[in-house]
A and B are shown apart, each in its own frame.
Chain A
Amino acid sequence: MNFHSFNPVAAVLLIPICSAALLAVLPGYRITARLNVVASLLTFLSALSLFVIERPQPTPYVLVDDLNIVFIVLNTFVGFTTSIFSASYIAHELDTGRLTPTYLRFYHAMYQTMMFGMNLAFVSNNIGLMWVAVEIATLTTVLMVGIYRTHAALEAAWKYFILGSVGIAFALFGTILVYMAARPVVGEGQDAMIWTLLVEHAAHFDPALLNVAFVFLFLGYGTKVGLAPLHAWLPDAHAEGPTPISVVLSGLLLNVALYALLRFKILLTVSPDAIAPGPLMVTMGLVSLVFAAFMLYRRRDIKRLFAYSSIEHMGIIVFAFGMGGPLANFAGLLHMMMHSLTKSAIFFAVGHIAQVKGSQRINRIRGLTVTHPALGWGLVVGVVAIAGLPPLGIFMSEFLVVSSTFARQPLLAIVLVFGLLLAFGALMLRLTSVAFGNPRGGTAPVEASYVPMFAHLSLVLIAGIYLPAPVVVWFQHVAILLG
């Protein structure tokens, strides 16, 4: 690493961890909330500078390439907007007495620690280090989900902790197996854990060992992605934690696990004799999609509704990456970005709605567009986007997924479209009852910051209408890299 000039990777890691330490000792919520925003902004700017500054060479621990730079920038951007949202949201929680100042200090320190964990997972070149980073991110979110210490929050945190730990244990076992497969080829010691070296030599690895390793990694990190049979922690954790945490869980943490999975998928793609990871991912993706689409109909809690919607969309993304090929991979990447932006915008809206209405129950929320026009219409746009209607970005990525599937596997496309339509129906049903009709519930004005929500929605809209050419070229390049 060169210390004589600005090192963006070091900044992306050091800013969060240093500010976490600072936030842990600073008193007063106004200053901590602001510091949280400033730190997140600085992290985002450092991540952006990766585009202009020459990238650091891969070291045994750090790697920046075309694939993860997309994830890092998205991660720090949503982290930044969420910190703005969090500042206005948390002040209200303090007023209503759901949180005490001590817990708030803890909350902000944990927020930055979590950002550190996620950024570390993205930049790490060492599969062991990546595992540790995912573990850090998980444990911090467990603590944040349980922060209200109500009956429900504790149950959610406990469930999340147990399931997440078992998943992460499987992922470690898979990592050890990858090391075992690499050792005879790459050589003993640290070299056999460095991802760039692994990819170089993956063609000579023992395919049987690599297969088993991938199954464990898929189950392990798949638990964190929230794929259908392993999803049980997700709705509870989303519904019971503070809303800024629901935002980062849906918009970011699921991506971290997905990113880890993609890295290992590349290993398998390089190795000619290993099983194709595709069918496994396609199956789990479709199961998640259809299952979540059915579950959407029975939700009575608004945060839980959108948690299931996250499962649905992660299913679509995993399906797209499982199909593979330049077009499907492109669609998967685009869908991942669009989902992160849209879902976080929706959770921004939902957080304020739950505060003004004093309830998360869907039947206690009516006529939002009448009582809170900005909030209500923001939610309408968000839900229309997430349901996949044109001209918003998700329509485009879903269209690409569906059309590439129709071209190659028409039968799978039928299942896919069925799931999409099912989910669309459920979301529209809920949206009409929440957003329109006679107002019900509280009518107190919102002291919300609308900037993050509308910033996200306009990005999604712009992406849907016109995707800039450099972005397209970039994504195409990454799509080919993914195989």
Chain B
Amino acid sequence: MKKTMLNIARRTPLFPYLRAYYTLYLKQGLGPSLKTRIIGSHRKDILERRVHQLEKVCRNSRIHFNPGERFFYSIDTRIHVMETPGYRRLGNLTPDYGFLLERGLEGIGDMIDRAHDGDYTGVLRRSLRAVRLYLDRCREHSPEIAEKLGRVPLRPAETLEEALQSILFMNSLLWMYGHPLIGLGRLDSILEDYHEDPEESRELIRDFILSISSYYEFKSNVLPGDTGQVIVLGGDCNDLTGIFLEVMGELRLPDPKVVLRVNSKTPDEIWELSYRCLREGLGYPLFSNDDVMVDALSRYYSRSDALNYGTSACWEPLIPGRSSDQNNLANLNLLEPLEKALHGFRGEFDELLEGYRQELHRYIDEVIDNVESVRDEPSPLLSLLFPDCISNSRDIALGGAAYSINGVLTVGMGNLVNSLLNIRRLCYDEKIMDIGEVEDVLREDFRSAEPLRVSLEVMGPMYGMDEDDVVELTNTIIQMLDEKLEGRYKFGLSSPGYITVGESTGASFDGRRSGDPLGVHISPIRFTEGMSYTEVLNFAAALDYRKAFNGGVVDIMVDRPFLDRAGDEFIELIRTGLRRGVMQLQVNVVDPEILLRARDNPELYPDLIVRVWGFSAYFRDLPEEYRDLLVRRALEYSGHGGYSG
């Protein structure tokens, strides 16, 4: 019955609108969704349709300005650009803001005029016209706005203030046009030429951060705080690197967030400022190791582009303004092939591994087919900020960018490795269990085997320990993934899906019950008694990131009281771990007692910020299962690296 109704509804021209309202309703509730204006289009041609939508956004979006604010940054949160059925909206990207500042919209227009004439140059011209129309509307709206938008974004920026205003203007349009998770790029290097007086720059950057942090709920994707607003700093540090870190440490906002590119040349002062941000419990900066990353990226990108890497919404690498990489197209659940491989299996351990490899490859094919059945939706607005799209005269979704190397994520690596280690130990080394029984025990979710389940959780060696056979097994799985994905898709070892994918995954032989969360990124499944930070970092440093570089984050937690006693040692720990070859690292600094109290009464701690997968958020905004997992992990990490005994 429901299906029939749906099928009838599908045939009506109103259906896309109904669907759009329904998704909005799910996200925002009834009131706001009814007040939202859906921007559709009846044009058949996809490019035509997308320009049409852009024109509508530029014509109709409402303009707000709060007097007294330094920057003009207006987003009409009551419009919703309808998705095109069968297409995937591009997001999770970073446009080339440096290009915008250097040329201004007028310069971009000249470049379009010089590009070889085709259908697409017409599309770009119309899009630029639409943007200029919106600019004129803003200027006419009030003299204050007109003053703020004096020369930019039309002309190249000449001062830091103009540069920041120019970025904010285009950024607001991208949000209204419906692109999710828009990154900000390497702002310290983009803005370096505009920086003069440190005091003045500090003030300007402070106001810029305040502007960009607004419309928090509207920008959030899956959970509050998940906005994708990454500021990439570092690589080659300059004065602004420190100013950004200082300002953000003072403002203490969960969003935007920082990815800090570190390498052997990163100055002590920058480490010190990062430490201060972390100590505040902000959860950023996330450290990304240039020495490992640039090397890995050189497999797919030119050396100079690799050196200029930025990240997607969390930490997956891409080249800002040059690559249209969709890095998070799917979550490969690494436990799924194991379940299939174990089905009816009777044989030796290496045969099991080979069976796993085949099942994994089959599973990857399935997932990739699924991913490839959907096309990227064109975006003339984004294409305006990708110089290659203009010179190639081709839309970003149709191969206009210099690179479009997409990526997938993996989840459950730790659970898989621990499962395999346990199987090897119990069924083959110690022979106290028959391989056939493993499947039965898992199918009944350990219901009559609780002692076994508990022992699987605590017996070592485990994922996250710097033991040779653990590292080797993990790298073997990485190798299996690479065999199948190399040259087609990047893949990484961290994923935001550890809770959601876990909910639909049956019991696993690492002692995990059906439906429980999977392991968090490259961290141990449980940071048990006797484990240490150095061990986890050594383990992570030994993984094969040349193959698995689409994000690979070690996520550790540390007690604030402990940090206050051993801050210097902690900084050395992180630096040394990265020097040894850890690719990416994030640190949640927590006060376990406060976290426990906040779990029961979140409203008592409205300002408490925690790091979730690749973003920071207010603890009070998180669903219960995320809060519980954070508390559980915080307690595991609590008291480690402590005192005699």
Real binding pair = no
Residues in B lying within 8 Å of A, measured CB to CB? none
